[in-house]
Structure 1
C-alpha cells in the first residue's frame, strides 16, 4: 500500500467568511512586507494568522497546522483527521499531511517553501521544539520574525471586517437581553449563562447560515465570583442584592466581540450604587478619549487621574481596553493595541478597540464585588462609532 507523506483531498463547495478579494488584499499587503524585508516564504502557525490570511480556523487536538505564503502561493497545511473541511474553509490551496511518518507536517511545508530560503515565522507562537524542526527540514538561509508586522496589519480593519464586527456586537446585545430576562433569585449562574449562549448561537445561525457555529460563550458571574473579569461560570445561585457581571462573547468565523455589564439582583445598596456610577462615569469619559491621534498610554493616564480624583484608582485591576477582530479567549490579540501605561500606539481610523474600566472591591468591604462596563468602538475620522447597543448603568440593570 502506498502511504504518501502528504496529498491533496479537495471536495465539496468552498465557503469562507469573506469574498476572495478580501483575502487577496490581505495577502497583497503581506507580500509587499515580505518583499521589503527579503522574506521568501512565511510559515504561519497561529490560529489567528492562519485564519486572518486564509479563512481557515483550525482545531489542533495535538496536531500542528500552518499556512504557507510565498510570492505566488497560499497553502494551508492540515491533518488527515480533518479530511476536506480545511480546504472548504480556506482561500487558496490546501495540503493534507499524513501520520504514517513522523514530521510529515514539515515535509509538506517544505514542498511549498523549498530549502535554503529566508523564512518568516511567528516568534510569539512557534515553540522551541517546532523551531528546531523548521531549521532541520527547511534549512533556512535566514529566519525573520514577522509577528509584529502581521499584528500591525491586523490592527487596521477593512470595510468587510467592520461589517462583520458590527454584526457581532449586535449578536452580543441579543445575548445580553436574554441574560437580563433569565436573571432571578434562585437561578444558577450556569442557567443564566446558557440562556445567553443559546440566544447568541441562534442569532448567528440566522444571520450567517453558512458559517461554522462554534466557540461562542458566556461568562456570567455573581457575588464574590465577580471579582475577576475572566472567572468561569459556576452553579452558585443568585440572591437578592447580588452584584452580577454579564459577559457575552459571540464568535463568528474567528471574529470575537463582547458585551460586559454590571448588574444587581432586585436592588442595589447606596455604597455599591456610588461605586457603580463612578465606574460608569469613567466608562463614558474613556469613550470620549477614543479618537484618532490619541495615544493609548495617554488615554490610560487620563482615566487613572479620573479614578485617583475619586480615591478609586487602587481598585483598578487591569488595562482599560483592547483591540477586536481575529481573536478569542484561547488565541490571538493585538498586544500593541491595548489601553495600558506601556502601550504608545496612536489610534487611527479603522482600528477597533474597547473601553472597559473595572473596579474590584474586596470581600467584607462596603460595596464588595467587581464593577465593569464594556463597549466596542470603531475609530473613524470624526472620532468614534460605538457599536454596542445594550444599555449600561443602574437605571436599566437592576433586574430580577
Structure 2
C-alpha cells in the first residue's frame, strides 16, 4: 500500500481509514495504521524517518455529526463556494480563518495556539489541514477529509498545502484580511499559483443565513436570555463581578449541552461590568464588588460551536439616580426607534444617520461609542466579522430576508460627570420576508432592570 494518500472505506460518517506519513509504505518506515479507535504500530523508532515525516492522515475513531447542522446544509455551503470559484476563475481556495473554516466545514472550530490551520477546497477536494497536537479531532469534525502536518520542520503546513494542491493550475483564493504578511510570503514562496482575495466574497455568502442557521441563532438567543436571568439571580451588594459572570456562563453552557448534545462546548462567556467598568463595551470581568446604586452592564455570549449571539443590557442595583435615569431613558428611546427602522429594503447607513439625529436631539451624540448594530453567524471576540452588514454611516448594504442584525446603541458618560457610566441595550433581529422578528426576549429599560436585593 502506498501511503501519503487516502486509503479508506469512505469519508462519510463512520468511516475508517489507514494513515501514513508522506512518501512511506506500510511495509516500510513511518507508518501507524488506525482501525476505528485501535492503533496498530508498525513503525520503527528511526529518528531520521520520524523527523522527515511532513504530514500524515489520522482517522482516529468514527466521523462525528457536524454538531449543529445537517449534511445537506454543509454541502449546500460548499456548492455555493464552488459556484463562486467557477465564476471567479479560481482553481482552489485556501481558508485560514476560524470563521471560514468553521462555516465551510460545518463546525470545525480550531484552536491555533500559534499554529496555522487551513481548509483547502478545489472542484474535487474538501480538506481541512490541522496540526498534530489535535490528533484525530479535526478529521472527526470535518465534513470530508483531513490531513495533519507535523511540527518537526518549520513550514510543513505550507509544504502540505503544495502537496495537496498537486499540479492544480490556476489562481487560488485566500483571505487577505486574515493571512499575515509572513504567511502570504511563504505561500508565494512555495506556490506558483496566483493568490486572489476571497474574503469579501465569502463574507457575502455568510451574510444571508439559511433556515438551519436562523434556527440555531434563535436557540442561542434564548440561551443568552437564560444566562441573563442567571446573572440577575446572582446579584447582590458585595458580590464580585466575576461571580455574576460565572453564574451566567454556567447556565448557558448547560443549555447548549442540552440543545446540542453532539456539539463541541467551547468559548461561551459573560462580561459583567459595574461602575466605571461599564465605560467600554468589551471591558473584561474584574474582582470589583457591586455597590448599591451601581450602573451595571450585562453581556451574555453563548457560543454553540462558533455561532455567536448576545444579550446586552443596562441594569442598576437597588436604585438609579435622576441623572442616570435621564441618560438611560434617552438611550432606550434610541434603541426603540432603531428597532422600528430595521426592515427589508432599508439601507444600513440610513438607519445610522437617523439615529444620529435622535442622539443629537438628546445632546448625547458626542458620547456615542460605536456602530448601532452588526451581523451574526460564525463570530467571536477573536474571529469573524461580516463588516458589510453593520449599522454604520459608511455601509450601503440594503437589508434583505435571511439577514440577522442587532440593534445596540451605546453611550458612555465619562467618570466625574452626572450619570457617569456606559449604557447599552442589544436585541437581535431576523429579517424575514414579511418583516423583522425580534428574537431577544429579555426585557429592557428602567421599568424592568433596576434589581433590588
Q: Give the TM-score range, shorter chain.
A: over 0.9
Q: Contact 1:297–1:342 at 8 Å: present in 2 too?
A: yes
| CA apart distance, 1:134 | 0.9
Q: 1:299 matched to which residue of 2?
A: 351
Are 2:215 and 1:166 equivalent residues in the alignment? no
Residue among 242, 247, 264 paired with 2:294: 242
Q: 1:121 matched to which residue of 2?
A: 174
Question: How does 1:29-44 map onto structure 2 within 5 Å?
Answer: 29-44=80-95
TM-score, with structure 1 as normaliser: 0.98
Residue among 37, 49, 54 paired with 1:5: 54
For 1:208-263, what per-residue CA distance to the aligned partner results, in whole angstroms no more than 9, with x for missing partners? Answer: 11111110011000001101101111111111110000000010010011000000
Q: 2:379 matched to which residue of 1?
A: 327
Are 2:99 and 1:48 equivalent residues in the alignment? yes
| CA apart distance, 1:273 | 1.1
Question: How does 1:1-400 map onto structure 2 within 5 Å?
Answer: 1=46, 2-3=49-50, 4-13=53-62, 14-16=64-66, 17-54=68-105, 55-115=107-167, 116-140=169-193, 142-399=194-451, 400=453
Give the distance between the partners of 1:6 and 1:186, measured in 2 at CA.
54
Give the distance between the partners of 1:186 and 1:62, measured in 2 at CA.
39
| CA apart distance, 1:111 | 2.1
Q: Contact 1:8–1:94 at 8 Å: present in 2 too?
A: yes
Structure 1: 4+ residue segments shifted above 6 A: none
For 1:290-327, what per-residue CA distance to the aligned partner results, in whole angstroms no more than 9, with x for missing partners? Answer: 11111111100000011111211111111100010000
| CA apart distance, 1:186 | 0.7
TM-score, with structure 2 as normaliser: 0.87
Q: RMSD between aligned alpha carbons?
A: 1.0
Give the distance between the partners of 1:158 and 1:111, measured in 2 at CA.
34
Q: Secondary structure at the match of 1:359?
A: strand
| CA apart distance, 1:138 | 1.9
How many aligned positions are there?
A: 399
Q: Which of the pair has more CA radius of gyration?
A: 2
Give the distance between the partners of 2:59 and 2:170, measured in 1 at CA.
28
For 1:34-71, what per-residue CA distance to the aligned partner results, in whole angstroms no more than 9, with x for missing partners? Answer: 01111000000000000000021100011100000001
Give the distance between the partners of 1:294 and 1:97, measured in 2 at CA.
47
Higher relative contact order (CA 8 A, sep 6+): 1
Q: Secondary structure at the match of 1:133?
A: helix
| CA apart distance, 1:101 | 2.4
Give the distance between the partners of 1:18 and 1:12, measured in 2 at CA.
21
Q: Secondary structure at the match of 1:94?
A: strand
Give the distance between the partners of 1:12 and 1:385, measured in 2 at CA.
42
Give the distance between the partners of 2:428 and 2:386, measured in 1 at CA.
15
Give the distance between the partners of 2:250 and 2:406, measured in 1 at CA.
24
